[in-house]
Amino acid sequence: MKERTKLTELTAITPIDGRYRDRVVDLASHVSEYSLIATRIEVEAKYLIALSDIKIVRPLKRNERSKLNSFGSNLTLQSARKVKRIEEETRHDVKAMELVFRSLVKGTSLEDITEMIHFGLTSEDVNNLAYRLMLKRATKHICVPAIDHLVTELVDRAEKYKSTPMLARTHGQAAMPTTVGKEIIVFAARLNKELRDLKERELTGKLTGAVGNLNALQFAYPKIDWLSFSQNFVRSFGFRPSLATTQINPYEDMIAHFQNYQRINGIIIDFAQDMWRYVSDDWFVQEVRTGERGSSTMPQKVNPIDFENGEGNLTMANGIFETLSRKLSTSRLQRDLSDSTTIRNIGTVLGYSFVGYTSILNGLSRVRPNEEQIAQDLNKDWAILAEGAQTIMRTLGVDDPYSLMASLTRGRHIDEAQWRTLVDQLPIPEENRKTLRNLTPETYLGNAVEITERAIEEIKS
């Protein structure tokens, strides 16, 4: 029974740290509890340097500054575990981190400034910066490259198949021709826009004390311009300073990030569902890999499991993003602790997202258009050319051509020969009749190719 409680990939409660651990291991270095502790220490250490710069802490030597700057990145797992042990007694995670930080300074040339660790701060002064650093770094180094990779893969396929005719469906019914590449580039363009927004999105930071007024610091050193200090310190992390706060830094900036991710995930879910349907219709075929099984009982099956897995995990992610966005926008009076336990799910929600991204990428790498089947289904029903015929007749002044074409085509499946017979019945000049007789599903593509090329050019730029 003891083996079942020891934390491993097999005993983990969540699939992120269990089934998918090998896929999120790089993400863990940014958003784990270990990373949170290390990032808090990084903030605390840089705060000491900032206090030295305004002469509240003695001048620091170059090697002392370097040592302080390395405390966070060099934090050992042993020290992080010590924080957790102390937390069992203090029941306060930031205080436990502070006590361990003090122990790291002990016995060094920095020991004389120990009492300035966490000087005049509230936990949220450290936490708000730490969590935003984690979100910023995980986004930049893990999630953005994966989404960027997906956009690149979509662009490559759109370029390759930009001229491959395909039946478009609206309401699930045969509508008119499009191209494989054009339908793919739609998703690339949507993702690219949201990805640019995510890259450029700004985060905020605060250092304003227990209820947002810098009371302790202002009381201890009234001649210091603490508002400027606060702003400069926050800017040193690449964040926009928040001065009007309660104990917490308002979460609207993080909520904006989460909603950006929600839109990205929604686009990818949309893509996954379309690909699932294309595979189901045999318009895309999947690579068969030796040793894989599509069913425990049906030997013939090759399932689109990567698109299904991606859809499922991104749906989970968006559910958590929705919860975070709803919860974090409110805080009772100057603060309550419900945001603290909620915001810890940054790793979970980015984990589900990243698993989704990698699943979709894997699925995309294993499929290709079944051009023969796509062409066969495209040419199965020439009624999809009815729009072109009624539009031409409008230009010729034919009375109510829409109703005329509806009476000839609606609810019917028309082959090539029937189409030509139908065209011969239309009340139009011979020149226009010839044009419609020569029209085919492969040629009635509008500007699909040009639209694809322009979208590719814009994305690449």
- 73 labelled catalytic: no
Q: Which residues fall within 8 angstroms of residue 76, CB to CB, at 6 or more apart?
A: none
Q: Compute how many other C-beta atoms are within 10 angstroms of the C-beta atom of residue 219.
A: 9
268, 356 Cβ separation under 8 angstroms: yes
DSSP H helical segments within 3-61, as ranges?
Answer: 21-31, 33-53
* CB atoms closer than 10 angstroms to residue 12: 14
What is the rounded CA–CA span in Å between residue 67 and residue 330? Answer: 39
Helix count (H) and strand count (E) of the chain? 20, 6
Helices marked H in 161-241: 180-200, 215-220, 226-235
CB 295 within 8 A of CB 303: yes
What is the separation, in whole angstroms, between the first and last Cα of the chain? 58
| Tokens describing residue 188 | 């690339």
Backbone φ and ψ for 177, nearest 5 degrees, come out as -75, 150
Point out the catalytic residue in the list 66, 228, 280, 295. 295
Do residues 315 and 268 lie in contact, with contact meaning Cβ atoms separated by under 8 Å? Answer: no
CA dist list (Å): 77 to 41, 82, 85, 235: 13, 9, 12, 29
Catalytic residue, candidates 171, 296, 407, 461:
171
- Using DSSP, state whether 285 is helix, strand or coil: strand
| Residue 331 bears catalytic tag | no
Name, in order, each residue with C-beta under 8 angstroms of 411's C-beta and a sequence gap of 6 or more.
none
Residue the block writes with tokens 């450290």:
126
- Give the C-alpha separation, 57 to 48, whole Å: 7
How many Cα neighbours within 13 Å face the side chain of 235?
7
* Residues annotated catalytic, as ranges: 171, 295
